[in-house]
Structures are given as C-alpha cells and as structure tokens.
Structure 1
Amino acid sequence: MFSFFKKKPVAPEAAPAAPAAVPAPAQPASAEPAAPLAYEVETAAKPEPKQSWMSRLKAGLSKTSANLSILFVGAKIDDDLYDELEAALLMSDAGVDATQFLLDALKRKVKEDKLLDAAQVKDALKQLLIELLQPLQKPFELGRHQPLVMMISGVNGAGKTTTIGKLAKHMQAHGQSVLLAAGDTFRAAAREQLMVWGQRNNVTVISQESGDPAAVSFDAVQSGKARGTNVVMIDTAGRLPTQLHLMEELKKVKRVIGKGMEGAPHETLLVIDGNTGQNALAQVKAFDDALQLSGLIITKLDGTAKGGILAAIARVRPVPVYFIGIGEKIEDLQPFNAAEFVEALLA
C-alpha cells in the first residue's frame, strides 16, 4: 500500500494553452506544495485485499526462495552447507561479489555468536541480507518541485510503459495531477500504448505523430508548468545500452528537459526486468554512466529464479530501488522494502 503525508487543498487556477496533446479532461492546478510527500510502505492503515502484499511477494519470489530456504532444513553447519549456499546465491544471480561478501560475513557471525542451529544461521543470513539491501530502500518523494519531472528509461520488454501507467494511477490516487509524454518515438507501438494508459487513467498525453523525442519532452515540461500539473512523466525510447547512438540521444533528451525547466529531470529512473539477472546489472551500469540514475524500478520478479540480482546491485552499483513489481495488476507494483523482500526471499 502507499502512504502519504497530506497536503492542504488549494484552489484551482486558470492555465494557459498547452502544446498539442491527446485530449483528456482538465486536471486541477496545484500551487507550490508546502512539503514533500513520500511513498512509504503502510503497515496497518487500510484493510488488506484478499491476498496481502506479503503473500503475493512470497509467491512471486518462490522460485528464488526455493533454492535458498531448503538448504537450512535439518542442515548441519559445515563446509557443505556453505558450498551449497554459495551455489544457490550464484544461481539466484546475486553475483560473485555479493555472494562472497555474504558468505564471509555469515561465517564470521556463526563463529562469533557460536551459532549451532540451522534456523539461527538462516536468521543470521536474513539480517545480513537486510543490511546489504537497506541502502537501496528510499522513499519516493513527491512535491519537491512544481511540476516534478520524471524521465523514465529502459530496454524494450522491461515493462517500462506499463509501469508508467501503473505509477500514474497510484499518484492520482494520492491527489497528484499527472501528465504523460510519449517520448518513445523509436518503437512503433509505444506512442499508442501510452495513449491507451492515458485514456484509462484520464490523463493527458503529450505526443507528436513522428516527433523528435527531445522536442516532445520539452513540450511536455512546458505544458506541465502551464497547467500547474504536479507530475510530468516522460517515456523515452527503449534501447540496449550497446546502441551507443541511441544512448547519446537519451543524453540529449535529458539536456533538453533541463532547458525546459531548471534542475529537471528531478528523477531519472530505469525500469529493469528482474528476469534478466546479471544482464540487468549491466543495464544499471550503462544507464547510470550515461544518465546518472536517481532510482530503479524492478519489474517481473514473479516467476523468476533470479531475485538475488538486488544483492548484486547493492554491492556493485547501489542505485535506490523505488519500486518492485510482481505481477500485472496495479497493486502488484509496490515500494521496495528491504526487510519485506528478505522475509519473502528466505520464507
């Protein structure tokens, strides 16, 4: 669930005309917010749905969890256990660095605390994993800028456009007016896909028939400022980090957004597919080098045996993970919480 600090209501203001856009009912304008808002995991505010988030998270991570949790069932604390744990962590795509770090720390803890029971060792591993992943946990703050401009990137197939639609819906649910920009002019169906999400969420989509992505992005920022919109989300073309000419185009888009509004984009996010394992880590490195990422959204963690990739990211390139996705439904995209994630991973 999402939890926010409340904002005081403000009277809507008249807005000047905006650039050409897919029409949608006007959204109320918003004055300069008094204080930032933040997505936080809510523990006991609203009634739980039929299947709670933790239940869905455990189910989504079950393939990764199965290879790890079974090791501690009636196990002896010996070299064989450590060898099996090393293999399981590597299979989960935790990577060599994170795997060695966790094993060394676990061996020290077992020795220092004189742990003799497999359940105690499992609990110790949980705590070490939480400590490793904790730096990735960061609330997503809203209201710091008017509008808050988000540039969202990712390779084709990562679920980028769908994630934008889900985020827009969540933000609307918490009183934020949203404007979308169809800056992915590289993929034929991307514009249409974003427009469908715009219609579904009753959100305006700034778009051009065959426009330059930087121009579309600039228009969207200007429109967001004119309308008094709270959040402008800019979809950018999916591309592989090895496509250097396209990566250069992404840098150009970011520069042009900055010309549209000083300090923008305020969030530069990368959507990555949790199924891709170590390839996801390569994407984080490449996009972070090019764009200086402020956060990650990891999708499709359900059904993958590669949930250990977060440990690899934490060790090699600790970019904050704002959200994780474990399904197709709106509620299946939730803020990342290290303790919850580890509990589901080592259930």
Structure 2
Amino acid sequence: MNDIIPILLPILAALVVIGGLVPVLMKARKSGNPYPGTRDANDPVEPLGGGGTLLEDRPSAPAAPAVRKDPDAVDLEGLEADVPDDAAGLETIAVETPLPVAGRLTRLRERLVKSNNVLGKGLLALLSSDKIDENVWDEVEETLLLADLGTEPTMELVDALRERVKVLGTRDPEHVKALLREELIKIVDPSMDRSLRIERHADRPAVMMVVGVNGVGKTTTVGKLARVLVAEDKDVLLGAADTFRAAAAEQLATWGQRVGVLTVKSDIDGADPASVAYEAVKAGIEQEVDVVMIDTAGRLQNKVGLMDELRKVKRVVEKLAEVDEVLLVLDATTGQNGLNQARVFSEVVNITGIVLTKLDGTAKGGIVVAIQKTLGVPVKLIGLGEGADDLAPFEAEGFVDALLN
C-alpha cells in the first residue's frame, strides 16, 4: 500500500490542475467572448469584425408581439385600383342612348305572350272546360305545381278559384278567365314595394350591391341596369368587385363605357373584392354621383367561405356608406333551386329585391310567386332576352296579363 502512494500523488495533482481549468474554459465559452483562432468552414460562427461569435452564444431576438388582424381590413396599399375621375378614354366605344324605361315592359310583355308559357295556357284550357269537376281542379293544382308556384300558394289559389266558380256557377270562359286573372294578381301581390332605392342622399350616393350564384348573369344585369338608370338621368359609377372571374372587370367596364359610365376596377387578378368595393364607394362619394353599383363574384350558396367573403364586402362598404339595395339575380329557368339560393343569400346579406332573368318560354313563371311568398322579398326587375335594353321593372298586373295572353 505504501508503495502505491508515491505513484498516485503526481496523478492526483495533475487532475486537480485540469479540474480547475475546465470551469474556466466553460465560463469563457459561455461569456460569448470572440471566438479564438481561425474559423473553420464547419464552425457555427457569424463573423464580427476580425473575429466571430458562436451563434449559440448570441442572445435570442425577442419574440414579436402578436397582432390581431382586423377581419374587415382592406388592403388599399397593394390594390392598384383604377379609379377614373373623368370621362377620359370613353371615346374608344361609341356612347349609346338607352331606350326609355316606360315602354320596356310593354315590349317584354309582348315577348312573353309569344312564348310558350305553360302556366297561363294550361290554366285557361282547364278552366274553359264544359264541366269543371274534381278532376279538373286536380289538374289545375298539378299545373300550378309544375309551374313552380309552390305548395302553399297553389292551394291558396285553387281554393279561392274553386269557391268563386262554385258560388257564381259560371261556365263562361271569359268570366272564368277574369276570375283567374284577379286571383293571380292577388297572389303575385301588387302591394309589394318594387321601387329601387336609387335616390341620392344629402352627402353620399345610393349604394347597390348585386349578388348571386355563378352563371346567372350578374355582370350583364349590372350593365343593363346601368342603362336603365342612365335612361332615368342618373349619374352612375360601377365597382368591379368580381376579381376572380377572368375578364369580369373588363366586361363591366365595357358595359359602362357604352353609356358613358365610369368603372372602378383592379388590374390584379384575385385582388380583395372588399377593397375594390370600398374604393368604388369612396370614388362615388368624392365625385358626388347619384348611384354606385357593385358587381360581386358568383358564389355557390353552400360554400361557407365565399358567403363569409360576401358578408365582408358589405361590412367594409358600410364603413363609408350604408348599402341601400341588395339585388339577388336569379335564373328563372332554375325553378325551385333558385328558391333555395334566394333563401341562403337572404340570410347572409339581407336581400332587398330580386332580378329574375331568362323569364321566357323555358321558364316556369310561378317562381315569381314562390320567391315572394317564401322570403317576403319582391321581384323588382325581369329580363326576357339578350338585348341591352331587355330589362324592365316588374309589374304584377302586366306580368299576369302576359301569362294569360
């Protein structure tokens, strides 16, 4: 044992010296002092002046505070919207004079009379029978349902007609036709307010949004409606908030140019539609126009994200001015599917009126009644053709007269 001690003493002394150096080296390393010696390509060193500091020794950057994004914020800085302030450039397309509104319904009525409308012809044929029994009433009911009148309005109309025919005991076709006309007018409801809210306010223009699903003709409807307003001596400005469909903005601008109306649009595909709508209303206020009309992108009524975006467009616009009119464009040929669309859109943006397009021989006229009964929202405008002036105010009596020829 005594022989081993002399051998262990030098070893223990060396360990003491090494043990004292280790903490010093660790302390120097943790202090973040300049990295000594030459820099190896594999060393995690960021050069500072002549030396460098180990990356792991550098203090971490403080975390950026979380910023809550405003869901209704509009990106005006990157919008690059074209906001015209005069009529420059409109001379590229000859400015047309729209036809007066007064005679439009007459022309549309003539077109509807000539079309093969099942509703009017079918009802008159049935009610002009020599004998009006239960079988006839069943067929009348079926005809109305096939015309998309809806179950409740159909039962209401059939019950009223049955009672009147029974009480009067009439079989005269002209008398029966007069009774049918009265009941149809009553159910189409001429008491509904079908006027467009297009009167300028004291300090701002009237603001109108046009909405609907893909393919119903919203942009075309906005263009045709611009012609209606110009024919009534209104100063109009258009907002091309359909930023997703290729060439939608150019299509709208062309409609506007044809009647000398300016269009606010973005040259960036996929720009924020709320930003374009905001700029359009802002320009309308600055230029003191009477009406600003905003065209929106088509969207399926069952796509939640797109419907939320539509809500945003309306909310953002209302930071500047209240939206006076929200028109839903429906394709009359879609029948009950159009009714489902109307129901969903009314829940999202509070629809104030319906524009019914393609109300020709392929359409089922009863959809007018079904929509109004279901939503309590009036049909305000109808279209019966592809012509630029084939859009007219809806009138209950004129519509029924056209159906019954």
TM-score with structure 2 setting the length: 0.71
Residue 307 of structure 2 is aligned to residue 247 of structure 1: yes
How far the C-alpha of 1:284 sits from its partner, in A, is 1.2
- What is the total number of aligned residue pairs between the two structures? 311
> Is the CA contact (8 Å cut-off) linking 1:180 and 1:234 kept in structure 2?
yes
Inter-partner Cα distance in structure 2 for 1:67 and 1:157: 30
- The residue that corresponds to 1:7 in the other structure is none
SS state of the match for residue 174, structure 2?
helix
- Alpha-carbon deviation of 1:205? 1.0
1:189 corresponds to which of 227, 234, 247: 247
Where do 1:147-296 residues align within 5 Å? 147-208=205-266, 209-210=268-269, 211-261=271-321, 264-296=322-354
- Corresponding residue to 2:402 among 332, 338, 344: 344
| Distance 1:125-1:66 versus aligned 2 partners, 3 A rule | closer
Q: Measure the CA separation in 1 of the matches of 2:174 and 2:227.
A: 41
Q: Give the distance between the partners of 1:297 and 1:255, measured in 2 at CA.
A: 23
CA deviation profile, 1:177-197 (whole Å, cap 9, x unmatched): 111111011322322221221
Deviation at 1:22, TM superposition (A): 5.6
1:19, CA displacement in angstroms? 6.2
2:168 corresponds to: 113
Q: CA deviation at 1:63?
A: 4.5
Deviation string for 1:225-258 (max 9, x for gaps)? 0001111000011111111111111111110110
Counterparts of 1:144 and 1:226, CA distance in 2: 13
Deviates further, 328-337 or 264-273: 328-337
Identify which of 123, 142, 152 aligns with 2:178: 123
Matches of 1:270 and 1:328 in 2, distance apart?
A: 19
Question: How many Å separate the matches in 2 of 1:334 and 1:239?
Answer: 25
Q: How far is 1:157 from its partner?
A: 1.4
CA pair 329-41 structure 1, distance change in 2 beyond 3 A: closer
Q: 1:56: which partner in 2?
A: 111
Which residue number in structure 2 is paired with residue 21 of structure 1? 83
Using a 3 Å threshold, how does the CA distance of structure 1 residues 55 and 283 change in structure 2: closer, same or farther? Answer: same
Q: Say which of 122, 133, 138 aligns to 1:83.
A: 138
**Tell me, which stretches of 5 or more residues in structure 1 are unaligned?**
1-17, 27-39
Amino acid at match of 2:83: A
Paired letter, 1:142: I
Query: Per-residue deviation at 1:64?
Result: 4.1
Q: Which residue of 1 aligns with 2:196?
A: 140
Distance 1:339 1:75, change over 3 A: farther
User: Residue 194 of structure 2 aligns to which amino acid in structure 1?
Assistant: K
Q: CA separation of 1:116/1:67 partners in 2, compared to 1, >3 Å: closer, same or farther?
A: closer
User: Of the two structures, which has the highest relative contact order with CA contacts closer than 8 Å and spacing of 6 or more?
Assistant: 1
Over alpha carbons, which structure has the higher Rg?
Answer: 2
Change (3 A) 1:144 1:107: farther
Preserved contact between residue 355 and residue 382 of structure 2 (Cα < 8 Å): yes
| Structure 2 counterpart of 1:10 | none
User: What CA distance in whole angstroms lies between the structure 2 residues aligned with 1:291 and 1:343?
Assistant: 33
- In 2, the alpha carbon distance for the partners of 1:268 and 1:332 equals 21
Measured against aligned partners, the alpha-carbon deviations of 1:278-316 in whole angstroms (never above 9, x if no partner) come to: 011111111111111111110000122411111212322
Provide the C-alpha distance between the structure 1 equivalents of 2:85 and 2:257, rounded to a whole number of angstroms.
Answer: 9
The alignment's C-alpha RMSD in Å is 2.5
